[in-house]
Amino acid sequence: MTTIPHDVMNWIDGRECPATTGQWFDNVSPADNRVLCRVARSGAEDVRAAVAAARIAQPGWAQKTAVARGDLLREIALALRTRRQDIAELVAQETGKSVKLALGEADAAIEMGMFVAGEGRRLYGRTTTASMPHRTVMTVRQPLGVAGLIISFNTPMPNIAWKVFPALLCGNAAVLKPSEDTPLSAWLFARLCQEAGLPAGVLNIVHGYGREAGLPLVESPDVDLVSFTGSCETGRSIQKVAGERLAKVCLELGGKNALVVCDDAALDNAVNWTLQAAFSNAGQRCAAASRIVVFDAVYDRFRDLVVKATRELAVGPADTDFMGPVINARQVAKLEDAVRQAKAAGAVILAGGAKLTDPAHAAGCYMAPTLLENVAPDADISQQELFGPVAVLYRVAGFEEALALVNHSRYGLTAAIHTASLHRAMTFAERVEAGVVVVNGGTHGSEPHMGFGGVKNSGTGWREAGTEALDVYSDWKYINLIHSPGCC
Ligand code: NAD
């Protein structure tokens, strides 16, 4: 088992170093509010040092063949695999989720590493025709330079893997700013990269708060790409700041995802997936289902089943529990406030609605899995992403009303429909405004080879994971070869 370090430092040019200001902040377990460690509270100076180290390391890294880079990334993935139990235990501590759930996430990160490593042998370009005789044209992928990677806390190790592996495979060096709530996973990832032989400076990690350590990374003229996963609000400000210097920006943002239950749905299956999509990982998934849209013909039956099942869910950090805490006390307060406001506007609380205050949960950030009904589609709770275990049931007359309600959102990340009708499922898939559609399942659940991302305010059109991720982290170069027939 990995011992939690007393101090989580930055990782710059292959060395651990404290923030130049000498400041720290506490990392607190959401399971019991225990201080786990103190973390470097970095600022612009630290970001400058990390970006400088990345700049120096990048050309040497890019000179290696893509196959060699992929081979090294595979070594990192193998190191992750060897230490998957340690990773899971560390992630369980910093997020409060169960070790079992964290093991699944460790495996997802490993699989991403393995998939991307293989891309080193498939970094395909194209050849094309030309109107001029004796002209051969081909496209090749080029690294961008230094990638600034800023991530959320919700699934810390996959969040690192989804950005770091493709960024490095494409020949970039990187500076990673992990979430201030989950610094330990990044700390361990850096150590494993070093053990696997990643050259110093190719990956640098700067810890700290968003405005103090994230913003300088976005502002830095030496950062060629900013790849961000987080909230719409932060994404909007990043786009503005990076837009000022015309940097490439990839934003993977929030969702207010809907799961539709039609009158011909297998109701037990729909209930099961509703619980998974709305409450697993305490609803802290960009792809979580927070709007459950149910046909009138089955509404009452579905509501009775899903409310009963929600009330029976076990909450806690044990492997046998269904879900753990949300990430911090601020998030609990935000969720409780949203429920209070909805109730004041006429919402009916069917299950949960508040923080759990019994002796087993009182010290932690445990929000009860919460279901509401009688909420207007325009109400704040219908439109704002909460990122917690809170979902609303909506009653609709049929398919057209369901589709209109699903699309009535500024977000467009994922959507699911439960139906026995292939035609209905395909019509939904064609007309729903979302980047990912699932039939008869949850709104979540991606795999490393599947491009993931959303439309509307859920992103800026990029897809992460899959070969599509390579488009984020590389540029295309056209090479024209004009050869003369007289030369052979
Ligand atoms: P957040 O926007 O508060 O923070 C995300 C990261 O940005 C953190 O590392 C934070 O320190 C940093 N940050 C904050 N302000 C910044 C600034 N001004 N400049 C630069 N960096 C800054 O989001 P969060 O609460 O960590 O995560 C929840 C959000 O992430 C939800 O909206 C969720 O849907 C989204 N998310 C999206 C995906 C996806 O793939 N689309 C995946 C996971 C999470």
The tens digit of pLDDT for each residue in 98-131 reads 999 999 999 999 999 999 999 999 999 999 999 9
Q: Does 20 share its domain with 42?
A: yes
Q: What is the DSSP letter of 221?
A: T
362 and 473 in a common domain: no
CB atoms within 10 A of CB 451: 16
Q: How many Cα atoms are found within 13 Å in the side-chain-facing hemisphere of 42?
A: 35
Could you read off the pLDDT of 410-446 as tens digits, one per residue?
999 999 999 999 999 999 999 999 999 999 999 998 9
The answer to whether 127 and 137 have CB atoms below 8 angstroms apart is: yes
The domain that holds 373 is classified in CATH as 3.40.309.10
State the pLDDT at residue 317. Answer: 85
Pocket of ligand 1 (CB under 6 A): 150-154, 177, 179-180, 209-211, 214-215, 218, 229-231, 234, 237-238, 252-255, 286, 385, 387
Which phi and psi angles does 161 have, rounded to 5°? -60, -40
* Buried b / exposed e along 163-178 (16+ C-beta atoms within 10 A): bbbbbbbbbbbbbbbb
Q: Which helix (H) or strand (E) holds 203?
A: strand 203-205
Residue 451: inside a domain: no
Residue type present at position 191: R
Q: Do residues 16 and 152 both lie within one domain? A: yes
Asked if residue 425 lies in contact with residue 399, where contact means CB atoms within 8 angstroms, the answer is no
Could you tell me if 289 and 413 lie in one domain?
Answer: yes
Domain assignment present for 450: no
Rounded Cα distance, 297 and 287, in Å? 27
Same domain? 380 vs 350: yes
Q: Is residue 488 part of a domain?
A: no
Compute, in angstroms, the gap from residue 208 CA to the centroid of ligand 1: 13
Whether residues 466 and 418 share a domain: the answer is no
Pairing outcome for strands 35-40 and 7-8 = parallel
Q: Which of 252, 262, 365, 464 is catalytic?
A: 252
Evaluate whether residue 373 is within a structural domain.
yes
Judge if 62 and 170 occupy the same domain.
Answer: yes
**Assigned domain for 485 exists:** no
Q: Does any domain span residue 448?
A: no
pLDDT of residue 388: 98
Specify whether 147 is located in the same domain as 72: yes
**Percentage helix, strand, coil for the chain under 3-state DSSP, each rounded to 5:** 40, 20, 35
Burial class (CB in 10 A: 0-12, 13-18, 19+), 442: buried
- The per-residue DSSP string of 90-134 comes to HHHHHH---HHHHHHHHHHHHHHHHHHHHHTT-----EE--SSTT
d(CA 309, CA 268) in angstroms, rounded, equals: 10
Domain for residue 312, yes or no? yes
- Among 286, 365, 385, 464, the active-site one is 286
pTM over 0.75, yes/no: yes
Total domain count, the chain:
2
Over its length of 488 residues, how does the chain's per-residue pLDDT go in tens digits? 779 999 999 999 999 999 999 999 999 999 999 999 999 999 999 999 999 999 999 999 999 999 999 999 999 999 999 999 999 999 999 999 999 999 999 999 999 999 999 999 999 999 999 999 999 999 999 999 999 999 999 999 999 999 999 999 999 999 999 999 999 999 999 999 999 999 999 999 999 999 999 999 999 999 999 999 999 999 999 999 999 999 999 999 999 999 999 999 999 999 999 999 999 999 999 999 999 999 999 999 999 999 999 999 999 989 889 999 999 999 999 999 999 999 999 999 999 999 999 999 999 999 999 999 999 999 999 999 999 999 999 999 999 999 999 999 999 999 999 999 999 999 999 999 999 999 999 999 899 999 999 999 999 999 999 999 999 999 999 999 998 877 76
| Whole-Å CA distances, 402 to 267, 294, 377, 394, 431 | 17, 8, 11, 9, 11
pLDDT at 2: 78
Asked if residue 291 belongs to a domain, the reply is yes
What's the sign of the alpha-carbon dihedral 306, 386, 186, 108? positive
Encoded tokens for 44: 């612009």
Taking alpha carbons only, the member of 436, 71, 138 closest to residue 289 is 436
Q: Which ligand 1 atom sits nearest the alpha carbon of residue 464? A: 40
Supply the CATH number for residue 215's domain.
3.40.605.10
For 187-198, b/e burial (b = at least 16 CB within 10 A) is bbbbebbbebeb
Ligand 1 mutation target, pool 223, 231, 249, 464, most atoms within 8 A of CB: 231
Say if residue 240 is in the same domain as residue 276: no
Q: Where are the alpha helices (DSSP H) in 318-398?
A: 329-344, 380-383
Q: Which two tokens stand for residue 170?
A: 């494409």
* Distance from Cα 194 to the centre of ligand 1, integer Å: 27
Q: How far is the CA of 151 from the centre of ligand 1 (A)?
A: 6
Q: Angle, nearest 10°, between helix axes 183-196 and 66-82?
A: 120
pLDDT computed for residue 252 by the predictor: 97
How far, in Å, from the CA of 228 to the mean position of ligand 1? Answer: 7
In sequence order, what are the beta bridge partners of 220? none
Residue 37 is among the residues annotated as catalytic for this protein: no
DSSP string covering 155-211 = SHHHHHHHHHHHHHHTT-EEEEE--TT-HHHHHHHHHHHHHHTPPTTSEEE--S-II
Instruction: Tell the residue number behind the tokens 């959401």, with chain if given.
Output: 30
- pLDDT tens digits along 352-369: 999 999 999 999 999 999
Q: What's the CA-to-centroid distance between 99 and ligand 1, angstroms?
A: 23
Rg, C-alpha atoms of the chain: 24
pLDDT for the residue 297: 98
252 is catalytic: yes
**Same domain? 237 vs 378:** no
Contacts for 23 with CB less than 8 Å, ≥ 6 apart: 40, 41
Q: Which of 27, 234, 253, 285 for a ligand 1 pocket mutation test, highest count of atoms within 8 Å of Cβ? A: 234
User: Which residue puts its alpha carbon closest to atom 12 of ligand 1?
Assistant: 210
Same domain as 315, residue 224:
no
- The 8-class DSSP code of residue 254 comes to -
- pLDDT for res 320: 87
How far, in Å, from the CA of 301 to the mean position of ligand 1? 37
Pick the closest to residue 39 from 9, 15, 3, 12 (CA basis). 9
248 and 263 housed in the same domain: no
The boundaries of the domain holding residue 397 are: 257-439
The per-residue pLDDT for 486 is 75
